[in-house]
Copies of this chain bind each other. A is one copy, B any other.
Amino acid sequence: MRIALSTGGGDAPGLNAVIRSATLAARRRGWDVVGIRDGFNGLMFPTQYPDGSGVMKLDASAVAGIGHLGGTILGSTNRGNPCHFPVTQPDGSVVYEDRTDELVGRFAEAGIDALITIGGDGSLTIGQRLFEAGLRVVGVPKTIDNDLDKTLVTFGFNTAVEIATESIDRVFTTATSHSRVFVVEVMGHYAGWIALYAGLAAGAHAILIPEIPYSIDLVADALRRREQRGGHFAIVVVAEGAVPVHGQRTVVATSADQGERLGGIGHRVADELTRLTGREARTVVLGHLVRGGTPTATDRLLGNRFGAAAVRALDQGLDGVMVALNEPNVEFVLLADAVGSLRTVPLDCDTLLTARELGISFGDEWTDLGSAKPT
């Protein structure tokens, strides 16, 4: 048995823990393990990797001591989606080719029996296509934003929440002692989990998330009421994908391999609050700070569990599945079901209700103190 590992998409603390765990669990079973460099590039474009370095052997010594390191030793810079590969024509236009079969053929040539693909929705979708084309595939979910529906959570998210909270803590002391208003922008395109968790943990006064379109007037009202009660400072946490009522996402740029790149919402909210409240609001944009670096123990643990579980799935004859957390279980769900299903903050979950009951504004009207449903 010979399996390959591949990492795709943006950084997430815990990737190396998955690689280490899957490698050790497979080697223990006597399997060979290889890692593909830079997404699938190492296998698709072998000539660009001297001396066969596009596919690296993974064993105990290759993964020694990497479990607590951020990043991925395999790299993650795809030249393009192999199932929808951009080819520039002589006239400058771009045509997209489906190279799925070619890639599956490369796996066969390399004597690889199965693939564990570690990545976000994009990588998992490619994994599902490869599976449909005949390759044995197990997926390991990766998303900083925690927006994959079929797993309770995945690695990287906890680190992001902890770092975001520590950052807000730092700004907090300045806000308190210098009577200031700060707007802190965190990641979260389609889901507000990081903003909600970090905002609640750090004691923010308003949290704006994609799931609840906000009225800037209601946010300003909340800050004014707080000031009238003697609250001389305030912290507003904004997910980058937050949208005003009747408004739309603040898009800064578009990049082919990154998907829509958002941003700028933090500055926008700060400017509007300054105008509406007459108090200067300052902005801090956390951005990439929360998605790199040493993973928390929580994320390393989850990465280890996922990596070993992916190997266990293959050992049990499973494929076309994704490992998923359903506490206290790690279980397997169909990859086909997992891709394309977005996980957002339910409007009646107890975490959101808790935030509301503590007086945090979400920029909407809310008065109900009713019961909450699960997060």
Point out the residues of chain B lying under 8 angstroms from A349, CB to CB: 328
Report which of B77, B152, B285, B305 forms a contact with A178, defined as CB distance below 8 A: B77
Number of copies of this chain in the oligomer? Answer: 4
A151: shortest Cβ distance to chain B, in Å?
11
Q: Check A354/B73 contact, CB under 8 A, given A173-B293, A374-B329.
A: no
A86 at interface (Cβ–Cβ under 8 A)? no
A80 at interface (Cβ–Cβ under 8 A)? no
A150 at interface (Cβ–Cβ under 8 A)? no
Point out the residues of chain B lying under 8 angstroms from A77, CB to CB: 178-179
Once the chains are docked, how many angstroms separate the CA of A313 from the CA of B15? 40
Q: Which of chain A's residues 288-308 have a Cβ closer than 8 Å to chain B?
A: 288-294, 296-298, 300-301, 304-305, 308
A93 at interface (Cβ–Cβ under 8 A)? no
Q: Are A202 and B350 in contact (CB under 8 A)?
A: no
Point out the residues of chain B lying under 8 angstroms from A260, CB to CB: none
Once the chains are docked, how many angstroms separate the CA of A309 from the CA of B353? 9
Q: Are B327 and A24 in contact (CB under 8 A)?
A: no
Once the chains are docked, how many angstroms separate the CA of A200 from the CA of B298? 10
Q: Which of A69, A291, A297 gathers the greatest number of chain B CB atoms within 10 Å?
A: A297
Report which of B169, B178, B369 forms a contact with A28, defined as CB distance below 8 A: B369
Known contacts A68-B201, A174-B291, then 7 further A-B pairs from the complex at CB < 8 Å, ordered by chain A residue: A11-B178, A60-B229, A67-B203, A173-B294, A289-B289, A308-B354, A329-B375
Cβ contacts A to B, 26 pairs, < 8 Å = A24-B357, A28-B357, A28-B369, A29-B369, A68-B201, A68-B202, A70-B173, A71-B177, A72-B177, A77-B178, A152-B327, A162-B296, A170-B293, A170-B294, A198-B297, A201-B304, A202-B297, A304-B358, A305-B350, A305-B354, A315-B369, A327-B375, A328-B349, A330-B372, A330-B374, A330-B375
